[in-house]
Structure 1
Amino acid sequence: MDTYPIAASSLERYYYVDGHLLERQYRDYLSGYIDWEERPHAGEWLVFPENVGPNMSIDETSLSDGELYTVLTNKDAHGRKGTLAAIVAGTKAEVVREALDHIPQEKRDLVEEITLDLSSSMKNIAIMEFRNTKRTIDRFHVQKLALEAIQEMRIGHRWEALRAEHERKLWIKATGEVIPPEVFSNGDTRPQLLVRSRYLLFKSAEKWTDSQKERAKILFKQYPDLEQAYWLTHKLRMIYANTPRRSLANTRLAKWYLEVENSGFDAFKVIAATLRDRETEIINFFDNHATNASAESFNCKIKTFRAQLRGVSDINYFLFRLQNIYA
């Protein structure tokens, strides 16, 4: 059964105590924090070799004020105790590697597969610290690139529409001629059409509502390039969803690269070049369909805990509580 931490200050309204005083007393006298052996270096690095297993994830997260930490987690612990294997301040490969060197090499050699994003620093860490390990790039980070590319195109069209609308208003003001705004059959003006199409471009067509189907039909008629980019994005999504083995993935990705080249879209060409550069790690996904979802879930747990504490005022104490719960 999952357990969830609470802030001592949240008890004051129910038990009529000074929550902040209770928090300080718990930290200084009851929690064991004062005698914690790792406290001198906790803000820089913490490692838990006993939590290293065959299936690991490495990712980055923010603990406070946007400061990033690199987090190594064990997938097989499913977000419970034993999940956290290491947490290191920063994302610089050399710094993280120095911290992970505190995990014995024989433990690191037990890792069979590690999932990661497209970050070059995460790649360098995985290569140098987990030498015998298969590296698999998370599918969702790849798909996110394509989604960001189509949204960039949509935003470009929106700015053009806003400029045109501004020029229409200036013309009316200068000449007194009444020029009504363009309104489509669903009631959207052109700028509204481009704003309200954001979410439908994230979704598969079979999940569109009736109003989204109507809006998509209008959008794609007005902007054929967005329709072409949408189906390029959808085809990449379907490669991940419907490809059972890596040999078939190679063939389907090659066809997708050709379609991207023929489309002429620069953003998608950059994506294709990125995928080719990391092709082995991307194709590895189709062996076990391993993702970084467990790492993203752990990041959400950290954010939820941080929200319950109403922020992080003492990083070391926050990390002490994290390791008690998840390490």
Structure 2
Amino acid sequence: MGEVYGVPGKTFRRQYKKSLSGFKDWPQKPHAEDWILYPENCSCSLSLNEVALSQGELYTVLTSKTAKGRKGSIVAIIKGTQSETVIEQLLKIGRKLRKNVKEITLDMAGSMKLIAKRCFPDAIKVIDRFHVQKLATEALQELRINYRWEAIELENRLLDEAKKKKEPIEIETFENGDTRKQLLARSRYLLYKSREKWMPSQIQRAEILFTEYPDLKKAYGLSDGLRKIYNQNIPKSIAMTKLAHWFRDVETSGFKSFSVLRKTIMNHYSDILNFFDRRSTNASAESFNAKIKNFRLQFRGVKDRTFFLFRLTKLFA
């Protein structure tokens, strides 16, 4: 636009910020770096999440699901994730508006649950399914990574022995061309997906992997089994039964990481089961976080945080 009107880019940016944008008269400017509130955007269904605006500094973001990521999405953006700080600001929203909130989706962080409980007492808390599934996938990947380090150590030992004997190295290669180390490295992505989404090369790699490492096959079955419970459109009562069977399979597997996951699910059991009432997720909040990151990327970072938040609210508040 600066080129069209014959104005240098820096001059245009400065004029936009100081005069054209309305930033100078923004009512929330004095406290924007610490908190901004738009109570009028409060709806019956909200999402609570955290996002890093710049240099890894976290902000707690409360968004409305009704707006579907468009104008009217932002309810609050508050610096930090400490529950007491966030609660103090959210309590500035009128009690009537807060009591009208009937559902709030969030992750398993204790601070988030406390914020939801104190600020929105009548809202049902729903633990986001993708946070639970992510823990299951991480437990599976941890096992794969441990086996990979063993394979790397084995290959290093064979190389050392070959050097000492001054003989050519013989590295085991499977029928798809992978070495043991490559097999474990290249299996990363197929373990994230369900069997139905595997490509032909991934099917072959998975067959080799599960033959060589039966524990990975068992762990993949546990991770995939949890995903299938979530994917089924079933009532809460049936979900409870299926989770009980899954817990039993975890106990018999003997995998420490999955046992930790089972205990984590038990600690948040009722809020996790609330997903099966309306199948609500935190996807809208994650999508909004992606928009913030994309917006930040377009402007090569955040130099003036207050002005960045002002522009963000122009688009989404």
What letter matches 1:201 in structure 2? L
2:157 to 157, 161, 167: 167
C-alpha displacement of 1:19: 1.8
**TM-aligned CA distance change 1:180 to 1:16, over 3 Å:** farther
**1:1-327 map, 5 Å:** 11-12=1-2, 17-327=7-317
**TM-aligned CA distance change 1:125 to 1:178, over 3 Å:** same
Structure 2 distance, partners of 1:19, 1:267, is: 54
3-state SS of 2:174 partner: coil
3-state SS of 1:77 partner: coil
C-alpha displacement of 1:14: 6.2
Q: Deviations over 1:25-65 (max 9, x none)?
A: 10101111112221111000011110001010000011111
Would the aligned equivalents of 1:73 and 1:85 in 2 still touch at CA under 8 Å? yes
What letter matches 1:93 in structure 2? S
Q: Deviations over 1:258-277 (max 9, x none)?
A: 00000000000000000011
Structure 1 distance, partners of 2:188, 2:247, is: 25
C-alpha displacement of 1:135: 0.1
C-alpha displacement of 1:24: 1.1
**TM-aligned CA distance change 1:210 to 1:14, over 3 Å:** farther
Structure 2 distance, partners of 1:123, 1:256, is: 25
Structure 2 distance, partners of 1:172, 1:15, is: 71
C-alpha displacement of 1:15: 5.9
3-state SS of 1:81 partner: coil
Instruction: Give aligned pairs, total.
Output: 317
Structure 2 distance, partners of 1:54, 1:268, is: 35
* 1:7 alignment counterpart: none
TM-score by length of 1: 0.95
Q: Deviations over 1:144-163 (max 9, x none)?
A: 00001111111111100001
Structure 2 distance, partners of 1:20, 1:233, is: 52
C-alpha displacement of 1:322: 1.0
Structure 2 distance, partners of 1:20, 1:231, is: 57
Structure 1 distance, partners of 2:5, 2:212, is: 62
C-alpha displacement of 1:239: 0.3
What letter matches 2:262 in structure 1? A
Runs of 4 or more above 3 Å deviation: 11-17
C-alpha displacement of 1:206: 1.1
C-alpha displacement of 1:291: 0.2
3-state SS of 2:25 partner: coil
C-alpha displacement of 1:13: 6.0
What letter matches 1:69 in structure 2? Y
Give the alignment's Cα RMSD to 1 decimal.
1.1
Structure 1 distance, partners of 2:28, 2:203, is: 56
What letter matches 1:87 in structure 2? I
Would the aligned equivalents of 1:243 and 1:249 in 2 still touch at CA under 8 Å? no
Structure 2 distance, partners of 1:179, 1:83, is: 60
What letter matches 2:240 in structure 1? N
Q: Which moved more, 1:12-21 or 1:94-103?
A: 12-21
C-alpha displacement of 1:177: 3.1
Structure 2 distance, partners of 1:30, 1:85, is: 25
Q: What stretches of structure 1 of length at least 5 have no aligned partner?
A: 1-10
Q: What stretches of structure 2 of length at least 5 have no aligned partner?
A: none
Q: Deviations over 1:86-133 (max 9, x none)?
A: 000011101111111111111110100000011111111111111111
**TM-aligned CA distance change 1:102 to 1:222, over 3 Å:** same
